[in-house]
A = this chain, B = another copy of it.
Amino acid sequence: MFDGAQYAQWSRKIFEQMRAGGVEAVDVTVAYHENFRSTVNLLMEWNRLFRENADLIALAQNIDEMRAINASGRTAIFLALQNPSPIEAEIGLVEMLFRLGIRIMQLSYNNQSLLCSGWTEEHDSGLTLMGREVVNEMNRLGMVIDMSHAGERSTLDVIDYSARPVVISHANPYSWHPTRRNVSDEVLRRLARTGGLVGLSLYPRHMPAGSGTSLRGFCEMAARLADMIGAGRIGIGSDLCQDRPASSLHWMREGRWRFPNPTAESTDFPSPVSWFSSNLDFPNIAEGLRQIGFAEQEIAGIMGGNWVRFLSSAMQPDDRTLPRSVAVAAGQGLVDKLARVNG
């Protein structure tokens, strides 16, 4: 089991549930609206979590490391950003964050970034001039480009522009639940055609009946999507925000880019669906896919194999341009056998 997006209130309990649920790897969100320095603080907090829970989890920077961590009976943690705010306006910070362990970065989160638009903006800037620079740099380093939370034109621009396949780590088809936070068929088709991957979301607001959405409905959606783009292009990005307080939701929504509205109704995370509320529940999804008629091999792919296959190539640095310092940090063994994935 590989989960492409979680932002739980991290604790030993959660890590124990990862083990109990048979979760091999999780892409964890480190930052939403933080700048570089605050992100470094959060990475140091992750270092503490790795130290204190070294029997349960460990940092993974590539798939080989993930496999070694799994072989020792632990869950591999990949570090991800849901916003490019940590690179501020400095292209050089992409490599600095890569060296610090970040392997996946969204190019926007809901609203406009310096790189592209989020889905809540009225007009979509598409991929900006700085955005192209950052895509080039992420392609070079092997930092995975994640277009969750982006606008449609921005997503299509990046799929077209990037030399490497991109991922939409946690979203569902717009045709299943029509919010612009979800993804149009055109995007899904072009994503799949270029070797990309979509991680299906279990966050109630991304599903048609919210917290009341049925497992069967979810799996039927997955079956339709598999017919359209192939089961090999589908993974899971649960968007699990287990144990998070409402203040986390406000940070995700507002950061500090606007003042909180003192008269707004207080909001909180929605209740989870009955069949998925923690890392213990992934077997429910596998069983649901089985009952809807997916083959065992397809289920293994959706539950993790597809993510692993995608990342095996997506995270390999481009050895034609990679500075030696990074090549060494990424593991010289890997670098030696590399060929550029696309073009």
Report A185-201 residues with CB < 8 Å from chain B CB. none
Q: Is the C-beta of A85 less than 8 angstroms from some C-beta in chain B?
A: yes
A74 to B124 Cα, complex, angstroms: 47
B92–A256 contact, CB under 8 A?
A: yes
Q: Is the C-beta of A142 less than 8 angstroms from some C-beta in chain B?
A: no
A258–B130 contact, CB under 8 A?
A: yes
Query: Number of A residues contacting the other chain (C-beta, 8 Å)?
Result: 32
A332 to B220 Cα, complex, angstroms: 66
A130 to B256 Cα, complex, angstroms: 10
Nearest CB of B to A132, in Å = 8
Nearest CB of B to A143, in Å = 16
Q: Is the C-beta of A153 less than 8 angstroms from some C-beta in chain B?
A: yes
A133 to B254 Cα, complex, angstroms: 11
Q: Is the C-beta of A123 less than 8 angstroms from some C-beta in chain B?
A: yes
In the complex this chain forms, how many copies of it are found?
A: 2
Which among B33, B90, B125, B257 is the interface contact of A256 at CB below 8 angstroms? Answer: B90
Q: Is the C-beta of A114 less than 8 angstroms from some C-beta in chain B?
A: yes
Contact with B along A101-141 (1 / 0, CB 8 A): 00000000001111101001111111011110100000000
Q: Is the C-beta of A89 less than 8 angstroms from some C-beta in chain B?
A: yes
Q: Is the C-beta of A16 less than 8 angstroms from some C-beta in chain B?
A: no
A126–B123 contact, CB under 8 A?
A: yes
B117–A114 contact, CB under 8 A?
A: no
Nearest CB of B to A13, in Å = 32
A149 to B110 Cα, complex, angstroms: 26
A129–B114 contact, CB under 8 A?
A: no
Which among B90, B91, B123, B257 is the interface contact of A130 at CB below 8 angstroms? Answer: B257
Report A72-97 residues with CB < 8 Å from chain B CB. 85, 88-92
- Residue on B with the closest CB to A255? B89
A89 to B83 Cα, complex, angstroms: 12
A257–B111 contact, CB under 8 A?
A: no
- Residue on B with the closest CB to A120? B129
Known contacts A125-B124, A125-B125; is-contact A112 B85 (Cβ 8 Å): no
Report A124-172 residues with CB < 8 Å from chain B CB. 124-126, 128-131, 133, 153
Q: Is the C-beta of A35 less than 8 angstroms from some C-beta in chain B?
A: yes
- Which residues of B sit under 8 angstroms from A128, Cβ to Cβ? 111-112, 117, 121
A35 to B85 Cα, complex, angstroms: 12
Nearest CB of B to A98, in Å = 15
A91–B258 contact, CB under 8 A?
A: yes
A residues sitting closer than 8 Å to B (CB atoms) are 33, 35, 85, 88-92, 111-115, 117, 120-126, 128-131, 133, 153, 255-259
The 4 A-B residue pairs with the shortest CB-CB distance in the complex, in nearest-first order: A125-B125, A112-B128, A90-B256, A133-B258
Chosen A-B contacts, 28 in total, with CB atoms closer than 8 Å, are A33-B89, A35-B35, A85-B89, A88-B88, A89-B257, A91-B256, A91-B257, A92-B259, A111-B128, A111-B130, A112-B112, A112-B114, A112-B125, A112-B129, A112-B130, A112-B131, A114-B114, A117-B128, A120-B129, A121-B128, A121-B129, A122-B126, A123-B125, A123-B153, A124-B125, A129-B257, A130-B258, A133-B259
